[in-house]
């Protein structure tokens, strides 16, 4: 069909981690750069970055992150934590390992913790 334009969409997977301390996040970014992730593949969101975090959840959704997960990262950032995101371009495990080894926790870890708490009846165990 002459003149027909076909648009395709795809989601760009994002790997992200939440850091309690700025030095942990900096170490993770340095390690990502050493592993040859480009500056255009790495994002950092922190509470003092002002308007940049105002729509963090929507920005993540626009990049293909599911809404519940995007909201988790947005809330973590608003709570004063640092969110480092990576567009891994097929190197998901490398990015996850670097983030985790530098002290990050992620959405999947939070879900696992919630499931474990539910299995234990939500009781704190010593």
pLDDT band at 12 (very low <50, low <70, confident <90, very high): low
Residues 6+ apart with CB under 8 A from 83: 16, 17, 18, 19, 43, 44, 45, 46, 56, 73, 76, 77
39 vs 46: CA distance, rounded Å = 17
1 vs 52: CA distance, rounded Å = 43
**DSSP per residue over 41-53, as a string?**
GEEEE-GGGTHHH
Residue 18: in which H helix or E strand, if any? Answer: strand 15-19
Total-model pTM: 0.78
What the block records as the tokens of 113 is 């913790």
- Selection from 109, 96, 87 nearest residue 38 by Cα: 87
125: pLDDT strictly greater than 50 = no
pLDDT digits (tens, 9 = 90+) for 83-111: 999 999 999 999 999 999 999 998 876 65
Residues 6+ apart with CB under 8 A from 31: 98, 101, 102
15-119: CATH, from 2.30.30, 3.30.70, 3.40.50, 2.50.20:
3.30.70
pLDDT digits (tens, 9 = 90+) for 34-85: 999 999 999 999 988 777 688 899 999 988 899 999 999 999 999 999 999 9
């Amino acid at each position: 069909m002459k003149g027909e334009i076909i648009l395709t969409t795809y989601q760009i997977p994002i790997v992200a981690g939440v850091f309690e301390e700025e030095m942990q996040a900096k170490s993770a970014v340095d390690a990502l750069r050493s592993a040859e992730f480009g500056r255009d593949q790495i994002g950092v969101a922190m509470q003092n970055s002002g308007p940049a975090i105002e729509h963090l959840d929507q920005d993540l959704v626009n990049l293909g992150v599911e809404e519940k997960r995007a909201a988790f990262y947005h809330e973590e950032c608003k709570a004063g934590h640092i969110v480092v995101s990576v567009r891994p371009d097929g190197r998901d495990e490398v990015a996850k390992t670097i983030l985790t080894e530098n002290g990050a926790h992620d959405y999947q870890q939070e879900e696992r913790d919630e499931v474990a708490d539910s299995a234990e009846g939500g009781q704190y165990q010593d």
